[in-house]
Structure 1
């Protein structure tokens, strides 16, 4: 399953629409999108606005790929589960975030094994088409320790 999550604070329609369109073109029935509080509704994917923590854990156990914004909590959680990630940064110029810390973090993370980076929504289909998203990362991201959280948080700038 491909799990798309945008976090709990704001929606990220650019990311969700790109993955949903890809799912439709490829006749995928294994895409689940957590959209956040938005009026937009996916046409080709299972979806919900919000996911309770216990539901999220269950979805993470089923996920083969996690598609998400460059958020520290999601990155640490995905690394704990050993799930490959496709990250797309929110952009300040599009009023999706207060600055471009996610963009700069994505640039720094794009050569990390198990992490794929789409800098724009136009990159999403090509990345989803070419990666072996069922293959688990070959790198051990560690566990959710205070040190790991600090390292990821420092990298992202949150």
Structure 2
């Protein structure tokens, strides 16, 4: 199963439509948390919002977690040891109040278990490669400390 989530603050109809079209053309089950968007999926199961336990269970059971480029979902995916494929909302399309998600794709893609896409074509290509994706265990405190340090540096503007 592929789990898709857009978060709770903004709709992300473009991602939901991309994944609905992918579900139409592929055999794997897709389940999405679609938020308050206007697009209604026709080819995948969905809910507008999920409770925390169900949300985390879907992440855990997924072969890949497809998400907006939000740190909360990246952290949740890493806790469940599920690879996450993030695609950014675009300010130019009215999907967010600025382009911080686009700016963050480069450094997000350097995090273990995090894969990135910025177009529908790249998203589909990465989904096709999901069997090769992995997410390391969070038990390694050194890696967790490195992630925390990297995020702190990014917030302060000193990350590479």
**Shorter-chain TM-score category?**
0.7 to 0.9
How many angstroms apart in 2 are the aligned matches of 1:36 and 1:99? 19
Q: Does 1:101 align with 2:69?
A: no
Distance of 1:79 and 1:149 partners within structure 2? 13
Structure 1 residues 59-138: aligned runs within 5 Å: 59-132=58-131, 135-138=133-136
| Structure with bigger gyration radius | 2
State the match for 2:48 in structure 1.
Answer: 49
Closer/same/farther in 2, CA of residues 81 and 93 from structure 1, 3 Å limit: same
Moved more, 104-113 or 1-10: 104-113
TM-score (norm 2): 0.82
- Residues 74, 114 of structure 2: 8 Å contact kept: no
Shift of 1:80: 0.9
The alpha-carbon deviation at position 150 of structure 1 amounts to: 7.0
TM-score (norm 1): 0.83
Q: Which has the higher contact order (CA 8 A, sep 6+)?
A: 1
SS in 1 for 2:131: coil
> C-alpha separation between the residues in 2 aligned to 1:156 and 1:19?
31
Tell me, in whole angstroms, the C-alpha distance in 2 between the residues paired with 1:36 and 1:81.
22
Q: Does the alignment pair 1:33 with 2:32?
A: yes
Instruction: Name the CA distance, whole Å, in 2 between partners of 1:116 and 1:14.
Output: 18
Is 1:13 the equivalent of 2:18? Answer: no
RMSD between aligned residues:
2.6
Instruction: Specify whether residues 46 and 52 from structure 1 end up closer, same or farther in structure 2 by C-alpha distance, changes over 3 A only.
Output: same
Partners of 1:22 and 1:6 lie apart in 2 by 16
